[in-house]
Amino acid sequence: MPSSTSPDEEVGLETCVLKFSDLDLKESNLINPSNSLKAELDANTKKKYSFAKKKAFALFVKTKQVPAPSLEFKGKWWRCCQQLFADQTSIHRHVATQHAEEVCQQTASVLKQLTAAPSASQSLPSADRKSPPKDCRPPSQEVSAWLPDVSRISPDELSSGQGDEDGEVLLYYCYCDLEDPHRICAWQTALCQLLHLTGKIRIATEGINGTVGGSKVATRLYVEAMLSCPLFKDYLCEEDFKSSKGGAHCFPDLRVGVFEEIVPMGVSPSQISYKNPGIHLSPGEFHKEIEKLLSQANQDRGDTILLDCRNFYESKIGRFQGCLAPDIRKFSYFPSYVDKNLDIFRQKRVLMYCTGGIRCERGSAYLRAKGVCKEVFQLKGGIHKYLEEFPEGFYKGKLFVFDERFALAYNSSVVAECSYCGAPWDQYKLCSTPQCRQLVLTCSACQGQGFTACCVTCQDKGGRQASGPTQDSFKEECECTARRPRIPQEQRA
């Protein structure tokens, strides 16, 4: 999924933690982002408001900076919302109009840290000299020892990989008990910055989940660091890292944060633990199970259900033949989907799968906890690993990924269609109405006719914006979202 623009961000962007060089800017309910923010502050804090806002704005812009697209271009460049900006005025205008809420939230966090600093009663420059944030403190001496030695590697080798052929994207997760996730957060931040990696990493007391991109030299060093780390070396192995062509350019920035769950299912790990998952099947074993399932097509497929744990925009462009693909927008809706459709799973053998395997770990544990299934199985390594062994197997179409590539192709099958004309089409684009950010399937011919929005509502809104004054925000609910049940109920066979 695109890291900054996806409609899901499961990843619902719930309490997403953005890590910068000297601040922990945490999206939470510290202060509601509104015009009344400044008015609610005490007299001492009001004096710092202007400074905090400028700093939050500058830090947000800094995270969007990217290398020049080629050697012939000079100066600083920025990438945000799928757009390249070549001058500071343009990126500043874009952030001010499109990301005002994020900047406001970050301003609240900066203010909180400034007012909490011991020197808060001193002058403003002194107040800025605060202790490191609790959520991402600098690595301790022990953690610093976990950083690889890059003294013999040139900066070019680490920062190269701007093209898909030169770089790599890693996807991995590891469930294990971590006593101090904030320490791991500090180490991961330092490690990724050292290796010039971008991406997103979620850390919790239940483990770690990451997707990072960079040069192949950098990603190899990252894998080595993870495998040698004393906290993970007994749980991770080389095959746990799924790789694909890409690089640092696949993500707008680096986001490392501490959360309650390493994949947001919306159920506390204390209630549903990763320690009670379904039975893991290798890609080969899973392939045989599907082969057997499809051969029973004329016998109502027996007592087995092939369940896709992903979201509708993932399964729409690629899925296993004969699967049940819930029409849900977020994985956090999955528990409610199971609860509403328990009869579908009663006395059934369930074969579950997802992109890399992580959602199945908690999803299968939740389904097992309901006590209605005969057995629950899950595809180890997810679709990623299956396609490495069976690119022309039972999975047809593309594999949706949560970054700016949108999807990976392993076979030539096209299972989706243009939302406007129905022609075979599986290349997602962002809705052309800037404030919407939903994904849309619209073929080249329909794009040429101006059909570039996700629905009629957005198409009309975009047209009115193009011919009228610029709107700062888009509050209308998209037609395509409004007509879809949040939690669908399946019909029993």
As annotated, the active-site residues are 354
Mutual orientation of helices 181-194 and 216-228 as an angle, nearest 10°?
150
CB within 8 Å of 71: residues ≥ 6 apart = none
The residue among 281, 279, 335 whose CA lies nearest residue 309 is: 335
Tokens of 461: 């809104």
Type of residue numbered 476: E
CB within 8 Å of 261: residues ≥ 6 apart = 202, 204, 206, 267, 268, 269, 362
Q: Up-side HSE of residue 387: CA atoms within 13 Å toward CB?
A: 25
Contact 121, 42 (CB under 8 A): no
**Residue 458: other Cβ atoms inside 10 A:** 23
Which residue's structure tokens are 């729409």? Answer: 316
Tokens of 336: 């409610």
How far from each other are the two terminal CA atoms of the chain, in whole angstroms? 32
| Rounded distance between C-alpha atoms, residue 324 and residue 47, angstroms | 57
Max CA pair span of the chain: 79
Which residue's structure tokens are 């953005």? Answer: 18
Q: 461-464 long-range contacts, Cβ below 8 Å, gap at least 24?
A: 461/433, 461/436, 462/432, 462/433
Q: What burial letters (b/e) apply to 118-136, b meaning 16+ CB within 10 Å? A: eebeeeeeebbebeebebb
Tokens of 67: 């290398």
| Rounded distance between C-alpha atoms, residue 359 and residue 357, angstroms | 6
Mutual orientation of helices 43-63 and 100-116 as an angle, nearest 10°?
130
- Give alpha helix (H) positions in 370-415: 382-389
Beta strand 439-441 with 428-430 is: antiparallel
315 in helix, strand or coil?
Answer: helix
